[in-house]
Amino acid sequence: MIANYHSRNRILVTGGAGFLGSHLCDRLIKEGADVICADNFFTGSKDNVKHLFNNPNFELLRHDVTFPLYVEVDEIYNLACPASPIHYQYDPVQTTKTSVHGAINMLGLAKRVGARIFQASTSEVYGDPEVHPQNESYWGRVNPIGIRSCYDESKRCAETLFFDYHRQHALEIKVARIFNTYGPRMSANDGRVVSNFIMQALKGEPITIYGDGSQTRSFCYVDDLIDAFVRIMKTDDSFTGPVNIGNPTEFTMLELAENILELVDSTSGISFHPLPQDDPRQRKPDIGLAKQVLEWEPKVPLREGLKETIDYFRSTLK
Protein backbone atom coordinates (compact mmCIF):
# COMPACT_ATOMS: atom_id res chain seq x y z
CA MET A 1 0.00 0.00 0.00
CA ILE A 2 2.82 2.41 0.80
CA ALA A 3 4.27 1.99 -2.69
CA ASN A 4 1.00 3.25 -4.20
CA TYR A 5 0.55 6.12 -1.76
CA HIS A 6 1.32 8.76 -4.40
CA SER A 7 -0.24 6.94 -7.34
CA ARG A 8 -2.81 9.70 -7.82
CA ASN A 9 -1.85 13.19 -8.92
CA ARG A 10 -2.40 15.50 -5.93
CA ILE A 11 -3.65 18.90 -7.08
CA LEU A 12 -4.43 22.10 -5.18
CA VAL A 13 -6.99 24.47 -6.73
CA THR A 14 -7.13 27.86 -5.00
CA GLY A 15 -10.41 29.65 -5.59
CA GLY A 16 -11.73 26.16 -6.26
CA ALA A 17 -15.31 26.90 -5.16
CA GLY A 18 -15.64 29.77 -7.60
CA PHE A 19 -17.12 29.80 -11.08
CA LEU A 20 -14.00 28.64 -12.94
CA GLY A 21 -12.46 26.76 -10.01
CA SER A 22 -15.46 24.50 -9.49
CA HIS A 23 -15.51 23.48 -13.16
CA LEU A 24 -11.76 22.83 -12.96
CA CYS A 25 -12.27 20.63 -9.87
CA ASP A 26 -14.89 18.65 -11.83
CA ARG A 27 -12.49 18.10 -14.71
CA LEU A 28 -9.54 17.09 -12.51
CA ILE A 29 -11.66 14.67 -10.44
CA LYS A 30 -12.96 13.16 -13.69
CA GLU A 31 -9.36 12.60 -14.78
CA GLY A 32 -8.62 10.69 -11.56
CA ALA A 33 -6.75 13.29 -9.51
CA ASP A 34 -6.91 13.91 -5.77
CA VAL A 35 -8.11 17.50 -5.48
CA ILE A 36 -7.79 19.94 -2.60
CA CYS A 37 -10.17 22.84 -3.18
CA ALA A 38 -9.13 25.91 -1.17
CA ASP A 39 -11.45 28.91 -0.98
CA ASN A 40 -12.28 31.70 1.48
CA PHE A 41 -15.83 31.92 0.05
CA PHE A 42 -15.75 35.66 -0.60
CA THR A 43 -17.06 35.07 -4.11
CA GLY A 44 -16.94 31.26 -4.21
CA SER A 45 -19.78 29.09 -2.93
CA LYS A 46 -20.06 25.64 -1.39
CA ASP A 47 -23.05 25.12 -3.68
CA ASN A 48 -20.67 25.06 -6.65
CA VAL A 49 -18.84 21.99 -5.31
CA LYS A 50 -21.41 20.29 -3.05
CA HIS A 51 -21.89 17.55 -5.64
CA LEU A 52 -18.26 16.57 -4.93
CA PHE A 53 -18.54 16.37 -1.12
CA ASN A 54 -18.98 12.59 -1.06
CA ASN A 55 -16.22 11.94 -3.57
CA PRO A 56 -13.23 10.37 -1.74
CA ASN A 57 -10.83 12.19 -4.07
CA PHE A 58 -12.14 15.65 -3.14
CA GLU A 59 -11.29 17.78 -0.12
CA LEU A 60 -12.69 21.23 0.65
CA LEU A 61 -10.57 23.62 2.68
CA ARG A 62 -11.59 27.09 3.90
CA HIS A 63 -8.45 29.14 3.38
CA ASP A 64 -7.43 32.65 2.34
CA VAL A 65 -4.36 32.62 0.08
CA THR A 66 -3.04 35.81 1.65
CA PHE A 67 -1.88 33.44 4.40
CA PRO A 68 0.59 30.56 3.81
CA LEU A 69 -0.79 27.09 3.21
CA TYR A 70 1.07 23.91 4.07
CA VAL A 71 -0.04 20.91 2.03
CA GLU A 72 1.77 18.26 -0.03
CA VAL A 73 0.77 18.44 -3.68
CA ASP A 74 2.16 17.78 -7.15
CA GLU A 75 0.41 20.63 -8.98
CA ILE A 76 -1.15 23.97 -8.05
CA TYR A 77 -3.76 25.91 -9.99
CA ASN A 78 -3.84 29.43 -8.54
CA LEU A 79 -7.28 30.85 -9.38
CA ALA A 80 -7.95 32.74 -6.14
CA CYS A 81 -9.04 36.35 -6.72
CA PRO A 82 -12.38 38.12 -7.22
CA ALA A 83 -12.64 38.71 -10.95
CA SER A 84 -15.65 40.97 -11.48
CA PRO A 85 -15.47 44.75 -10.98
CA ILE A 86 -18.23 44.78 -8.35
CA HIS A 87 -16.36 42.24 -6.23
CA TYR A 88 -12.77 43.36 -6.72
CA GLN A 89 -13.63 47.03 -6.17
CA TYR A 90 -15.51 46.24 -2.94
CA ASP A 91 -12.22 45.92 -1.04
CA PRO A 92 -9.48 46.98 -3.47
CA VAL A 93 -6.65 46.63 -0.95
CA GLN A 94 -7.68 43.04 -0.23
CA THR A 95 -7.90 42.39 -3.99
CA THR A 96 -4.29 43.47 -4.40
CA LYS A 97 -3.25 41.36 -1.42
CA THR A 98 -5.04 38.33 -2.84
CA SER A 99 -3.22 38.55 -6.17
CA VAL A 100 0.20 39.58 -4.86
CA HIS A 101 0.46 37.92 -1.41
CA GLY A 102 -1.49 34.97 -2.80
CA ALA A 103 1.02 34.54 -5.61
CA ILE A 104 3.95 34.79 -3.18
CA ASN A 105 2.43 32.19 -0.86
CA MET A 106 1.50 29.75 -3.60
CA LEU A 107 4.87 30.15 -5.33
CA GLY A 108 6.56 29.53 -1.99
CA LEU A 109 4.51 26.38 -1.55
CA ALA A 110 5.35 25.21 -5.07
CA LYS A 111 9.04 25.84 -4.42
CA ARG A 112 8.95 23.90 -1.15
CA VAL A 113 7.20 20.80 -2.53
CA GLY A 114 8.57 20.96 -6.09
CA ALA A 115 5.13 21.40 -7.66
CA ARG A 116 4.27 22.72 -11.08
CA ILE A 117 2.14 25.86 -10.69
CA PHE A 118 -0.45 27.53 -12.92
CA GLN A 119 -1.42 31.20 -12.66
CA ALA A 120 -4.86 32.32 -13.78
CA SER A 121 -3.94 35.72 -15.15
CA THR A 122 -6.27 37.92 -17.15
CA SER A 123 -6.77 39.89 -20.32
CA GLU A 124 -7.00 42.91 -18.00
CA VAL A 125 -3.18 43.00 -18.02
CA TYR A 126 -3.61 44.59 -21.48
CA GLY A 127 -5.78 47.39 -20.02
CA ASP A 128 -7.53 49.52 -22.63
CA PRO A 129 -5.43 48.24 -25.52
CA GLU A 130 -3.99 50.21 -28.42
CA VAL A 131 -3.31 46.93 -30.25
CA HIS A 132 -6.18 44.84 -31.62
CA PRO A 133 -6.41 41.88 -31.30
CA GLN A 134 -4.07 41.49 -28.33
CA ASN A 135 -1.22 39.00 -28.53
CA GLU A 136 1.09 37.93 -25.74
CA SER A 137 3.94 40.22 -26.81
CA TYR A 138 1.82 43.34 -26.20
CA TRP A 139 2.72 44.99 -22.88
CA GLY A 140 -0.60 46.70 -22.37
CA ARG A 141 -1.98 50.15 -21.58
CA VAL A 142 -3.05 50.15 -17.94
CA ASN A 143 -3.97 53.03 -15.64
CA PRO A 144 -1.96 52.35 -12.44
CA ILE A 145 -4.14 54.57 -10.21
CA GLY A 146 -7.69 53.99 -11.49
CA ILE A 147 -10.59 52.17 -9.86
CA ARG A 148 -9.77 48.98 -11.79
CA SER A 149 -6.05 49.12 -10.97
CA CYS A 150 -6.31 46.94 -7.86
CA TYR A 151 -7.14 44.03 -10.16
CA ASP A 152 -5.26 44.94 -13.34
CA GLU A 153 -1.97 45.88 -11.70
CA SER A 154 -1.99 43.13 -9.07
CA LYS A 155 -2.45 40.54 -11.81
CA ARG A 156 0.46 42.10 -13.71
CA CYS A 157 2.56 41.95 -10.53
CA ALA A 158 1.59 38.31 -10.03
CA GLU A 159 2.89 37.52 -13.52
CA THR A 160 6.15 39.28 -12.61
CA LEU A 161 6.48 37.14 -9.48
CA PHE A 162 5.81 33.93 -11.42
CA PHE A 163 8.50 34.68 -13.97
CA ASP A 164 11.00 35.79 -11.33
CA TYR A 165 10.45 32.55 -9.39
CA HIS A 166 10.93 30.69 -12.66
CA ARG A 167 14.18 32.50 -13.45
CA GLN A 168 15.55 32.59 -9.90
CA HIS A 169 14.41 29.18 -8.60
CA ALA A 170 13.82 27.18 -11.82
CA LEU A 171 10.19 26.73 -10.79
CA GLU A 172 7.89 25.09 -13.35
CA ILE A 173 5.29 27.76 -14.13
CA LYS A 174 2.35 28.08 -16.51
CA VAL A 175 0.63 31.44 -17.03
CA ALA A 176 -2.70 31.83 -18.84
CA ARG A 177 -4.33 35.16 -19.69
CA ILE A 178 -8.06 34.58 -19.49
CA PHE A 179 -10.49 36.54 -21.62
CA ASN A 180 -14.22 36.89 -20.92
CA THR A 181 -15.67 33.54 -19.90
CA TYR A 182 -19.26 32.57 -19.16
CA GLY A 183 -21.34 29.53 -18.28
CA PRO A 184 -23.24 27.79 -15.48
CA ARG A 185 -22.25 28.70 -11.88
CA MET A 186 -21.55 32.33 -12.69
CA SER A 187 -22.71 34.48 -9.81
CA ALA A 188 -25.99 36.25 -10.51
CA ASN A 189 -24.78 39.43 -8.81
CA ASP A 190 -21.20 39.63 -10.04
CA GLY A 191 -21.83 42.58 -12.33
CA ARG A 192 -20.46 40.82 -15.41
CA VAL A 193 -22.18 41.53 -18.65
CA VAL A 194 -23.45 38.00 -19.43
CA SER A 195 -24.92 37.36 -15.98
CA ASN A 196 -26.33 40.91 -15.80
CA PHE A 197 -28.05 40.68 -19.17
CA ILE A 198 -29.47 37.19 -18.54
CA MET A 199 -30.84 38.00 -15.09
CA GLN A 200 -32.38 41.26 -16.31
CA ALA A 201 -33.97 39.49 -19.28
CA LEU A 202 -35.35 36.67 -17.10
CA LYS A 203 -36.85 39.19 -14.66
CA GLY A 204 -38.27 41.39 -17.40
CA GLU A 205 -36.10 44.33 -16.34
CA PRO A 206 -34.45 46.73 -18.82
CA ILE A 207 -31.04 45.48 -19.96
CA THR A 208 -28.34 47.89 -18.82
CA ILE A 209 -25.79 48.83 -21.48
CA TYR A 210 -22.96 51.22 -20.63
CA GLY A 211 -21.93 53.56 -23.41
CA ASP A 212 -23.62 53.18 -26.78
CA GLY A 213 -23.21 49.39 -26.88
CA SER A 214 -20.57 49.47 -29.62
CA GLN A 215 -17.72 48.33 -27.34
CA THR A 216 -16.74 44.73 -28.03
CA ARG A 217 -15.90 41.62 -26.05
CA SER A 218 -15.18 38.00 -26.92
CA PHE A 219 -16.94 35.31 -24.90
CA CYS A 220 -15.50 31.86 -24.21
CA TYR A 221 -17.67 29.06 -22.79
CA VAL A 222 -16.35 27.67 -19.52
CA ASP A 223 -15.85 24.07 -20.76
CA ASP A 224 -13.57 25.30 -23.53
CA LEU A 225 -11.56 27.39 -21.07
CA ILE A 226 -11.06 24.52 -18.60
CA ASP A 227 -9.88 22.27 -21.41
CA ALA A 228 -7.20 24.86 -22.19
CA PHE A 229 -6.10 24.97 -18.53
CA VAL A 230 -5.50 21.24 -18.47
CA ARG A 231 -3.68 21.32 -21.79
CA ILE A 232 -1.38 24.10 -20.53
CA MET A 233 -0.42 22.08 -17.46
CA LYS A 234 0.45 19.10 -19.65
CA THR A 235 2.92 21.03 -21.83
CA ASP A 236 6.63 20.35 -21.30
CA ASP A 237 8.79 22.37 -18.93
CA SER A 238 10.06 24.68 -21.68
CA PHE A 239 6.64 26.28 -22.18
CA THR A 240 5.74 28.83 -19.52
CA GLY A 241 3.30 31.09 -21.28
CA PRO A 242 1.86 33.60 -20.95
CA VAL A 243 -0.75 32.32 -23.36
CA ASN A 244 -4.06 33.93 -24.27
CA ILE A 245 -7.13 31.78 -23.65
CA GLY A 246 -10.43 33.03 -25.00
CA ASN A 247 -12.76 33.09 -27.95
CA PRO A 248 -11.58 35.36 -30.79
CA THR A 249 -15.12 35.83 -32.15
CA GLU A 250 -16.04 39.42 -31.29
CA PHE A 251 -19.47 40.74 -30.34
CA THR A 252 -20.69 44.22 -29.44
CA MET A 253 -22.59 44.66 -26.18
CA LEU A 254 -25.68 45.45 -28.24
CA GLU A 255 -25.36 42.18 -30.20
CA LEU A 256 -24.97 40.24 -26.94
CA ALA A 257 -28.06 41.88 -25.48
CA GLU A 258 -30.11 41.12 -28.60
CA ASN A 259 -29.02 37.46 -28.58
CA ILE A 260 -29.99 37.05 -24.92
CA LEU A 261 -33.34 38.79 -25.36
CA GLU A 262 -34.17 36.45 -28.23
CA LEU A 263 -33.07 33.27 -26.41
CA VAL A 264 -34.93 34.20 -23.23
CA ASP A 265 -37.95 35.38 -25.26
CA SER A 266 -37.98 38.45 -23.03
CA THR A 267 -39.90 41.68 -23.39
CA SER A 268 -37.17 43.65 -21.61
CA GLY A 269 -36.07 46.88 -23.22
CA ILE A 270 -32.55 48.33 -23.27
CA SER A 271 -31.36 51.14 -20.99
CA PHE A 272 -28.20 53.09 -21.86
CA HIS A 273 -25.90 54.52 -19.16
CA PRO A 274 -22.52 56.35 -19.10
CA LEU A 275 -19.42 54.21 -19.67
CA PRO A 276 -17.49 53.46 -16.44
CA GLN A 277 -13.94 54.79 -15.93
CA ASP A 278 -11.20 52.82 -17.73
CA ASP A 279 -13.68 50.38 -19.29
CA PRO A 280 -11.89 48.88 -22.33
CA ARG A 281 -13.41 49.72 -25.72
CA GLN A 282 -12.23 46.48 -27.33
CA ARG A 283 -11.15 43.12 -26.04
CA LYS A 284 -10.28 40.26 -28.37
CA PRO A 285 -7.57 37.62 -27.97
CA ASP A 286 -5.04 36.58 -30.54
CA ILE A 287 -5.00 32.82 -29.83
CA GLY A 288 -2.35 31.88 -32.37
CA LEU A 289 0.01 30.65 -29.63
CA ALA A 290 -2.70 28.50 -28.03
CA LYS A 291 -3.49 26.95 -31.41
CA GLN A 292 0.17 26.24 -32.09
CA VAL A 293 1.36 24.96 -28.71
CA LEU A 294 -1.81 23.57 -27.12
CA GLU A 295 -3.61 22.56 -30.32
CA TRP A 296 -6.58 24.33 -28.74
CA GLU A 297 -9.30 26.63 -29.90
CA PRO A 298 -12.84 27.15 -28.54
CA LYS A 299 -15.57 24.90 -29.90
CA VAL A 300 -18.82 26.10 -28.27
CA PRO A 301 -20.67 28.81 -30.28
CA LEU A 302 -22.00 31.78 -28.31
CA ARG A 303 -25.69 30.97 -28.70
CA GLU A 304 -25.18 27.35 -27.66
CA GLY A 305 -23.27 28.39 -24.56
CA LEU A 306 -25.81 31.10 -23.75
CA LYS A 307 -28.64 28.53 -23.82
CA GLU A 308 -26.83 26.43 -21.16
CA THR A 309 -26.14 29.53 -19.08
CA ILE A 310 -29.72 30.78 -19.34
CA ASP A 311 -31.01 27.35 -18.23
CA TYR A 312 -28.72 27.52 -15.20
CA PHE A 313 -29.91 30.97 -14.16
CA ARG A 314 -33.54 29.93 -14.71
CA SER A 315 -33.00 27.07 -12.26
CA THR A 316 -31.65 29.49 -9.62
CA LEU A 317 -34.85 31.55 -9.78
CA LYS A 318 -37.15 28.61 -9.01
Helix and strand totals (H; E) in the chain:
9, 13
User: Residue 231: which residues within 8 A CB-CB, separation 6 or more?
Assistant: 294, 295, 296
The predicted structure's pLDDT at residue 114? 97
The predicted structure's pLDDT at residue 64? 98
Q: Mind listing the pLDDT tens digit for each residue in 128-138?
A: 888 889 999 99
Peptide bond into 274 cis (omega under 30): no
CA neighbours within 13 Å on the CB side: how many for 147? 11
User: Quick one: pLDDT band at residue 278, thresholds 50, 70, 90?
Assistant: low
Q: What percent of the chain has pLDDT over 90?
A: 82
Domain ranges of the chain: 8-182+220-248+285-300
Ordered DSSP codes for 201-256:
HHHTPPEEEETTS--EEE-EEHHHHHHHHHHHHTS-TT----EEES---EEEHHHH
Contact present, 191 and 257 (Cβ < 8 Å): no
Q: Mind listing the pLDDT tens digit for each residue in 20-56?
A: 999 999 999 999 999 999 999 999 999 999 999 999 9
SS3 assignment, position 141: strand
151 counts as catalytic: yes
What span, in angstroms and rounded, lies between the C-alpha atoms of 57 and 63?
19
Q: Mind listing the pLDDT tens digit for each residue in 190-202?
A: 888 999 999 999 9
Active-site pick, 77, 88, 126, 151:
151
What span, in angstroms and rounded, lies between the C-alpha atoms of 10 and 28?
10
Average pLDDT over residues 266-288: 82
Residue 7: pLDDT over 50: yes
Q: Which CATH architecture has domain 8-182+220-248+285-300?
A: 3-Layer(aba) Sandwich (3.40)
